[in-house]
Amino acid sequence: MTRKHQPIPIFKTEAEERAFWESNDSSSYVDWTQAERVRLPNLKPSTKAISLRLPVSLLEQIKVTANKQDVPYQSLIKIWLAERVGVASH
């Protein structure tokens, strides 16, 4: 049995679209049985540069630890922060 899906509205802004999908079930609009798995190998999460003041001695300790693990120190800081807040790091 083929189910008739509702047309997806046209959105004026990304925020409007986000609010719509947060409050509507996509199965009313999309036939997920026809979906195909895709890979997006070059997709990277959005990032934002911040300024973080650290004591010099703390930064040096972080750099030493990062060097021992053969990881850039900024990456190590991101890993530690992600672990602390319970977010999977990429």
Asked whether residue 84 is assigned to any structural domain, the reply reads yes
Q: Give DSSP secondary structure letters for 32-44.
A: GGG------TT--
Query: Which tens digits make up the pLDDT trace of 17-64?
Result: 999 999 999 999 999 998 999 988 888 888 899 999 999 999 999 999
Query: Which tens digits make up the pLDDT trace of 64-78?
Result: 999 999 999 999 999
Within 8 A by CB and 6+ apart from 89, the residues are 78, 79, 82, 83
Distance CA 37, CA 35 (A): 7
Q: Using CB atoms within 10 A of its CB, is residue 1 exposed (0-12), middle (13-18) or buried (19+)? A: exposed
Number of domains in the chain: 1
Asked whether residue 17 is assigned to any structural domain, the reply reads no
Asked whether residue 33 is assigned to any structural domain, the reply reads no
Asked whether residue 55 is assigned to any structural domain, the reply reads yes
Structural domain boundaries, residue 74: 49-90
